[in-house]
């Protein structure tokens, strides 16, 4: 299910909502595989002439710490062949980059991640999907804040999520 939130003048963010509980047994109980943590990503993105300027901060709402985490950034448009990515980030697909978040204690704000990617073309808009692909074995039951989808228009304006 996809819902759209208007966050302010000219700012729109779509949020992906995961449906159903995974790991449900015959009695309907969810099997917990590890400590529970709640990762979230908050930041802003702007698009100008095929370049996306993205900066965001990871946060662990807890209750347990996360020994390490990795976030995937996937764009709706292909990335240019050559990218200048910061340390801890690597291109993994034609449209995706992985960035290491690192360890996060419960109720801790992580290091800000900032990068600029060049798209192959210069579209008038691009959709950015953000999701956690590794969280050190922690269980995150709240995917409303670690799986997001942001529509970014080529206006130079910052779109917040």
| Percentage of the chain modeled with pLDDT above 70 | 80
Position 126 pLDDT exceeds 80: yes
Position 11 pLDDT exceeds 50: no
| 87: CB partners within 8 A, 6+ apart | none
Predicted pLDDT at 121: 97
Domains of the chain, residue spans? 2-17+37-160
- Phi, psi angles (nearest 5°) of residue 130: -120, 130
b/e burial code for range 92-106 (CB count within 10 A of at least 16 → b): eeebebbbebbebee
- Phi, psi angles (nearest 5°) of residue 96: -135, 150
Please name which of 136, 160, 144 lies closest in space to residue 37, comparing C-alpha atoms: 136
Q: In this structure, what token pair is assigned to residue 49?
A: 């002439």
Assign domain 2-17+37-160 to a CATH class: mainly beta
Distance CA 140, CA 146 (A): 9
Predicted pLDDT at 103: 97
31-53 pLDDT tens trace: 557 899 999 999 999 999 999 99
């Amino acid at each position: 299910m996809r819902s759209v939130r208007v966050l302010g003048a000219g700012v729109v963010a779509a949020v992906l909502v995961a449906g159903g509980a995974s790991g449900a047994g015959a009695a309907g109980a969810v099997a917990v595989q590890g400590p529970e943590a709640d990762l979230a990503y908050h930041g802003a993105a702007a698009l100008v002439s095929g370049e996306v300027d993205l900066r965001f901060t990871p946060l662990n709402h807890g209750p347990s710490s996360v020994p390490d985490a990795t976030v995937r950034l996937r764009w709706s448009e292909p990335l240019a062949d050559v990218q200048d990515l910061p340390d801890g980030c690597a291109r993994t697909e034609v449209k995706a980059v992985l960035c290491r978040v690192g360890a996060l204690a419960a109720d801790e704000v992580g290091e800000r991640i900032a990068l600029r990617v060049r798209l192959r073309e210069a579209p008038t808009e691009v959709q950015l999907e953000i999701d956690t692909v590794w969280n050190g074995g922690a269980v995150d039951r709240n995917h409303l804040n670690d799986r997001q989808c942001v529509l970014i228009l080529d206006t130079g304006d910052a779109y917040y999520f």
